[in-house]
Structure 1
Amino acid sequence: MPEGHTIHRLAAEHLRMFAGHPVAAESPQGRFADGARQVDGRTLREADAHGKHLLLGFGDERRLHIHLGIYGTYTFGPVPAPAPVGMVRLRLAGPSEYADLRGPNACELLEPGEIKLLLDRLGADPLREDADPDQAYRRISRSRTTIAALLMDQTVVAGPGNVYRAEVLFRLGIDPLLPGRKVTPEQWAAIWADLVPLMREGVRLGRIDTVRPEHTPEAMGRPPRQDDHGGEVYVYRRAGMPCLLCGTEVRTQVLAGRNLFWCPACQPPHA
């Protein structure tokens, strides 16, 4: 599933392509035909991201809500747009470019009350200026759930996914199985302070890079990572391989339905 930096990039991309212009909207697949008709010909005024949720505004109080989920993808190109290929849920076309959305978990028009319900259940987004990390810590500090699971809970922290949670815990030497109630205020402050610039860099680059300058392939004289995920990381998808820092075998286990990766030496078990 795309992590929060991808959705913030999509918001910026929609503004770049369509802001201030009437857009043509259609649903070649047909599953969003009524919603597309209500958007068709309207001008994009806002594009905002909250965690993994994209909200597009077309001049009234409603918002077009898009959540990619596991299978959702976007493709972009110049106009005139070619005939749709595959199950295109929504096509938006502006003066010079178009965007095709396929396979999203959600593509719907929300009324103001529905928007509020959505936003109220989301946690703090490290990429938003209005985020409240203290609110997230209040949830974490009362929980018996592991910090690794809590970082994936979008009602606690909105945006980070499997990569960011594994990598930030490694970078700070925190045991991923540490219960939330045992996470100190100092540890949480360090986690938040690390997530913010890491995710901002993800927005800038369009990929997740988490290794520090002294641990890049060039600095360490090692081959670059070969993975379809892209980006240089410490532990994500490196199960069974030696830790880049200490050489200990990177471990993995399923936690909250996702594969967790960590180094048992660099992230020793909590007492």
Structure 2
Amino acid sequence: MPEGHSVHRIALQFRRDFVGHRVAASSPQGRFAAGAAELDGRRIVASTAVGKHLLLEFEGERTLHVHLGLYGAWDFAGDVTSAPTFTVADGRIGDDVRRSGLTDQLAGYRDGALSQATPEQLAAAQDAKGERNLRVGGRTTLRMSESDRELEAPEGDFPPPPVGQVRVRLLTETAVADLRGPTACEVFDPQQVERLVAKLGPDPMHDASRKAENRFVERVLRSATPIGLQLMDQSVVAGIGNIYRAELLFRARLDPHAPGRTIPEAALRRLWKDWAHLLAIGVETGQMLTRADLKTEEDYRRALAHRDARHYVYKRTGQRSLRGPGTVVMEDMGGRSLYWAPGWQTRPER
């Protein structure tokens, strides 16, 4: 399932290519016909992500709410722009990395500078580095879900015909976005949006205020529920999924089974700041880079290309812990696979 950084990247994509444009909305699949008719012909005025929820605001106080769930994805085609993602399925980065300024960005990863950036600042930084124009005569070019990847498809006139079960299509004069397989796709009024956001825990990319941090800390400290379960509860903190949970707890040296109310407040505040830091990295790079011991360009090249080189514990069952004694174990927690290193995650810093 896409975690918070992926949905923020999708929101950024809509801000670049759709906000400010009037769209033709349709439901080729037919399951969203009434909702599409309500949005058709309206201008998109804002694009926001809160946790795993995408909110596309249209003029006339209508908002398209999308939750991708396990199988959802957005496909973008036409005259769309894409900032460098550094998603390297084939393991080759080469000169593209040096031209993009990745080395400078990842220096920010090490010193925490990226965690202070807003989504707008990240977008501006990407603009300054130079985006790629992906106008390709109607060929689908970019799929965005858990990660981003460019697609191969037959060329043809614009817009390309819908392929597969497209729940909703948003079309401008030059760009098109097709949504497939979401868990939720619905039109909200302002009151429904307000109720949704009120139910969610804080998201540091949406609200980086001290008030949001306090809300997270106070919620955790009120409960005896293990911290490993609380981090997956979207009403406690929004956007964290299985990978970020495992990696955040390892980085904080927190036992996933520790009751929330037993964790020192200072440790929880560091955990919140670390989540903001890793989330910003994910939005910037398109990858869940969670290891802080990457020093050389070759380290980063390998981490961007191979999952086992960018995580401390996730999917590393039975392997030596990268910090402290012992090995990584996997167990069930709340119906999800929990990865952690008992030899390391038992003595949180005070």
On whether the aligned pair clears a TM of 0.5, the verdict is yes
Q: Tell me whether 88-97 or 101-110 shows the greater mean CA deviation.
A: 88-97
Residue aligned with 1:63, SS: strand
1:51-200 matched pairs, under 5 angstroms: 51-78=51-78, 79=138, 80-129=158-207, 132-200=212-280
Give 1:243's match in structure 2, choosing from 311, 315, 321.
321
Q: Distance in 1 between matches of 2:260 and 2:305?
A: 34
Percentage of pairs with the same residue = 44
**Cα gap change, 1:192 to 1:258, in 2 (>3 Å):** same
Task: Give the structure 2 partner of residue 45 of structure 1.
Answer: 45
What code does the residue aligned with 2:38 have? Q
Any stretches of 5+ residues in structure 1 without a counterpart?
A: none
Contact between 2:321 and 2:327, CA under 8 Å: does it hold in 1? yes
Question: Distance in 2 between the 1:62 and 1:23 partners?
Answer: 13
- RMSD (CA atoms): 2.2
User: How far does residue 147 in structure 1 lie from its aligned partner after superposition?
Assistant: 0.4
User: How many angstroms apart in 2 are the aligned matches of 1:92 and 1:200?
Assistant: 27
Query: Secondary structure of the equivalent of 1:37?
Result: helix
Structure 1 residue 123 displacement after superposition: 0.5
Residue identity matched to 1:31: R
Q: Which residue of 2 aligns with 1:205?
A: 285
- Matching residue's letter, 1:94: T
Which sections of structure 2, spanning at least 5 residues, go unmatched? 79-137, 139-157
The alpha-carbon deviation at position 60 of structure 1 amounts to 2.0
* Deviation at residue 239 of structure 1 after TM alignment: 1.1
Q: How does 1:212-231 map to 2 (within 5 A)?
A: 212-214=292-294, 218=298
Output the CA distance in 1 between the equivalents of 2:319 and 2:308: 17
Quote the offset at 1:156 in angstroms: 0.4
1:230 is displaced (CA, Å) by 8.0
Three-state SS of the structure 2 residue aligned to 1:45 is strand
Distance, in Å, in 2 between the alignment partners of 1:73 and 1:19 is 19
Runs (4 or more) in structure 1 with deviation over 6 Å come to none
Residue-by-residue CA offset, 1:78-122 (whole Å, 9 max, x unaligned)? 141322111110111123221111110110001222112111100
1:61-90 per-residue CA deviation (whole Å, 9 max, x = no partner) reads 221101111111111111413221111101
